[in-house]
Amino acid sequence: MQVINDKLKVWATDLDQKTMLQAQRTARLPIVAGHVALMPDAHLGLGATVGSVVPTEGAVIPACVGVDIGCGMAAVRTDLTSEDLPNDLTPLLGKIADVVPAGVGRGHDRRHWRAQKRAADWLETNRPRSELSDRQDKKAYEQMGTLGSGNHFAEVSLDEDGTVWLVLHSGSRGIGNQLAQSHIAEAKSVAKRFEIGLEDPDLAYLLEGTPEFDHYIADLLFAQAYARANRETMLDAALRELFRFIGKGRERERVNCHHNYTEQEMHFGNEIWVTRKGAISARSGQLGIIPGSMGTDTYIVAGLGNPESYMSSAHGAGRRMSRTQAKKTLSVESLEAAMGDRAWLGDKAAKLVDEHPDAYKDINEVMRLSADLVKVRHRLQAVLNYKGT
């Protein structure tokens, strides 16, 4: 860990100047309580740096949480082993795709009836503060139990003992995005109205005790809960297909963690808001998930409760190339080589080049830099990868 100054501490070594300057702008905000912590996977984001932990007092920055509120990881350890798996998992890839629709707003009518019922039941008792339009209400219902696109994925993996795991990455989908966008715009409006000087408009914050703050927090808690329920719904659907495909199987352990969220916590004797934008909570003994990328490993970890990171850790490999740069620089052929003999959507490789492993930082280096943040419990190697395009 490197101390840049009393307002910024950094665990990352692969940082460009723009990312460092962005983090320093965030750290200079008057609402920051203590120092901003940059995780080993930190990279340039919108407003606030992805891979940052931002402690604030009496205020929250909506753009720091981001537009995919509650995005995170979930994993299940099963009682299956590598010996239970057939050599060809391609048929299983199709079955998972059937019950976990992916892509931007497509295929949602293909959800299993159990997912549809869970969505209806959950939304009956969980509502945001914002009044949803009929279209938004429909979106919230239809997208629960769906993966999305971008870097969201589902994988069947093997740990160091050959135990089979199911792992997935997703968030609060379209409804979380729309709620977040409205509150980011509201925060900017408040900053302009009260002439709050900001180095970056995307760092606009909402003050505790105001109606705007209360409204945002209520919607935020809804979206975070939606994201968690979404991951649970997909895990259950994919597990059923996995066990049916193998002909047996039981769940042994489940982990579900956010990496884009905020909550009130006690640190250094004070109650503050801790926003993790691309970071996971890593209290002592707390289980978490740190994925790499397509073609690389995922780690199941236990937190070490490091106070200097606000008991946090990295959330993944972190991008080192923008999507545009990856598409210009990397090839379909090299992606196919990186994926090896995994079952994956090879016929859609041209649409997945921006998710190429080389577009991300080295997950093994990220884990090395996280040695004082987490302890590795399991290292997972994917044998099946499913993503939205």
Helices (H), the chain: 17-27, 62-65, 90-99, 113-125, 134-143, 173-193, 211-246, 323-329, 332-339, 363-369
d(CA 83, CA 67): 41
d(CA 27, CA 117): 44
Q: Are 339 and 331 in contact (CB under 8 A)?
A: no
- The side-by-side arrangement of strands in the sheet containing 260-267 is 2-5, 8-10, 36-43, 50-56, 270-277, 260-267
The residues annotated with a catalytic role in the active site are 315
d(CA 321, CA 339): 19
Calculate the alpha carbon distances from 165 to 33, 63, 96, 238, 374 in Å: 39, 33, 14, 11, 20
**Residue 150 DSSP SS3:** coil
Asked whether the CA dihedral 187, 192, 194, 199 is positive or negative, the reply is: positive
d(CA 338, CA 231): 27
